[in-house]
C-alpha cells in the first residue's frame, strides 16, 4: 500500500469517526445551543474519574510499562516547556500570552480526543488503552495543578490555585484505581457495573463536549502565535518524541503509543482555564480549534510513522 493510500486508510479508520462526532457537537451547539459548562463539569467530575479508576484498576499491563509511560510523558512535557519558553522569549511575548501559549503546547487533549483515537488505532481490547489512561491521568494532574498555577497564579496565588486542584475528583480516582491494581481487589458486582457504564459513556460525551466547546469560539487576529503553537504541538513535539524513543531503543506497542500520544492537539482544559481567568482567552480558544483541525492530517502521519518505524 502506498503512502497516500495508507494515510487515507488511517484517517478513515482512526480519525474520521472522532471528527464526525466532534462535528455533530459543533453543529448542535451552533444550531440550538448546549449547556457546555454543565457538559464540561460532567466530564470533569463524573466521566473522567470513572474512566481513570476503571482502567487503572483493571489494567493488564506491567507496572514497569505504566511507569515508563509516566516518565516519558513527563520528560516530553519538560522538553516542550523549555522550547516553548525559549520561543516566547525570542518573540518577546507578554507574560499573559506566554502563559496561554505555554498551556497550549505542553498540555495535550489526551481524553476526549486521545482516548478514542488510541482505541480506534489499537483496538478496544488493546493494552494501549490502559497506557493512555496513564497519560490522561498525568495530563489531568498537571493541567489542574501546574496549568492552574501558570494561568491563574496571578489571580489566585499559588496556594489558592493548588487548593482548587485538591478538590478535583480524578486525583482520588487515580489513587483508588492504583490501589485496586496493586492489591487485586475488586468492587462489588453492582458497583463495578455502574462504574463501567459511566466509564464507557466518557468517549461519546467527551467528543460531543469538545465539538460544543469549539462551536463557541470567537475569532481575532492572532495568526502568528496560533501558527507557532500549532507547529510546536503538532510537528516539533512528535519529532522530538520519535528521536527520544529511538535513542532509548524502545519499540513495539509501547513506543507506538507514546509517539502517537505525543502528537495529539492542545488540551481544551488549558483553554478553559485561560477563559475562566481571562488570560488571553481568544488566543487560547483559537489555538485549540486550529490545532485540532490540523491534527486530522498530522496525527494520521504520526500513526503511519509509528506503525512503519516502531
Alpha carbons within 13 angstroms on the beta-carbon side of residue 298 total 22
| pLDDT of 301 strictly over 90 | yes
Q: Which pTM does this prediction carry? A: 0.85
Among 52-66, 117-131, 190-204, 282-296, the least confident range: 52-66
Average pLDDT, the chain: 85
pLDDT at position 238 is 96
Q: What's the total number of domains in the chain?
A: 1
Contacts of 267 (CB under 8 A, 6+ apart): 103, 107, 108, 109, 110, 139, 143, 288
**Which of 72-86, 97-111, 128-142 has the largest mean confidence?**
72-86
Residues 144-190: tens digit of each pLDDT = 777 777 776 555 555 665 666 677 777 788 788 878 877 878 888 88
If you compute the radius of gyration of the chain from its CA atoms, what whole number of angstroms results? 19
List, for residues 222-280, the tens digit of each pLDDT value. 788 999 999 999 999 999 999 999 999 999 999 999 999 999 999 877 777 777 677 78
Residue 58, class by beta-carbon neighbours within 10 Å (0-12 exposed, 13-18 middle, 19+ buried)? Answer: middle
Q: What are phi and psi of 270, to 5 degrees?
A: -60, -40
Domain that holds residue 63: 3-309
* Beta-bridge partner residues of 266: 108
User: Which residue's entry shows cell 512535557?
Assistant: 77
Judge contact between 255 and 310, C-beta under 8 A. Answer: yes
Rounded percentage of the chain residues whose pLDDT exceeds 90: 32
**Mean pLDDT of the region 195-220:** 80
Here the CATH number for the domain that contains residue 238 is 1.20.1530.20
Phi, psi of 108 (to 5 degrees): -110, 160
pLDDT of residue 276: 67
Q: Is the pLDDT of residue 46 over 60?
A: yes
Q: Which residues have a Cβ under 8 Å from the Cβ of 118 and sit 6 or more positions away?
A: 126, 128, 129, 131, 132, 257, 260, 261
Amino acid at each position: 500500500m502506498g503512502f497516500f493510500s495508507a494515510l487515507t486508510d488511517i484517517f478513515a479508520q482512526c480519525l474520521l469517526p472522532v471528527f464526525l462526532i466532534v462535528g455533530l457537537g459543533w453543529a448542535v451547539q451552533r444550531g440550538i445551543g448546549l449547556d457546555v459548562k454543565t457538559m464540561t463539569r460532567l466530564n470533569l467530575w463524573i466521566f473522567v474519574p470513572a474512566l481513570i479508576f476503571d482502567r487503572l484498576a483493571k489494567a493488564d499491563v506491567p507496572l514497569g510499562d505504566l511507569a515508563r509511560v509516566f516518565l516519558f510523558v513527563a520528560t516530553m512535557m519538560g522538553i516542550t516547556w523549555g522550547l516553548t519558553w525559549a520561543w516566547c522569549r525570542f518573540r518577546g511575548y507578554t507574560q499573559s500570552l506566554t502563559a496561554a501559549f505555554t498551556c497550549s503546547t505542553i498540555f495535550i487533549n489526551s481524553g476526549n480526543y486521545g482516548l478514542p483515537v488510541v482505541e480506534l488505532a489499537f483496538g478496544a481490547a488493546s493494552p494501549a488503552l490502559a497506557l493512555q489512561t496513564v497519560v490522561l491521568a498525568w495530563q489531568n494532574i498537571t493541567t489542574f495543578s501546574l496549568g492552574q498555577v501558570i494561568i491563574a497564579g496571578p489571580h489566585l496565588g499559588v496556594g489558592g490555585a493548588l487548593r482548587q486542584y485538591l478538590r478535583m475528583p480524578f486525583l482520588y480516582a487515580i489513587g483508588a484505581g492504583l490501589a485496586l491494581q496493586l492489591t487485586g481487589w475488586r468492587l462489588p458486582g453492582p458497583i463495578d457495573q455502574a462504574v463501567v457504564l459511566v466509564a464507557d459513556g466518557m468517549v461519546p460525551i467527551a467528543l460531543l463536549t469538545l465539538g460544543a466547546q469549539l462551536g463557541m469560539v470567537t475569532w481575532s487576529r492572532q495568526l502568528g502565535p496560533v501558527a507557532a503553537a500549532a507547529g510546536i504541538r503538532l510537528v516539533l513535539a512528535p519529532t522530538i518524541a520519535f528521536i527520544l524513543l529511538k535513542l532509548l531503543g524502545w519499540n513495539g506497542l509501547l513506543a507506538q503509543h507514546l509517539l502517537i500520544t505525543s502528537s495529539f492537539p492542545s488540551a481544551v482544559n488549558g483553554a478553559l482555564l485561560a477563559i475562566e481567568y481571562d488570560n488571553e482567552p481568544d488566543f487560547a480558544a483559537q489555538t485549540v480549534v486550529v490545532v485540532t483541525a490540523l491534527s486530522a492530517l498530522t496525527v494520521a502521519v504520526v500513526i503511519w510513522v509509528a506503525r512503519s518505524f516502531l
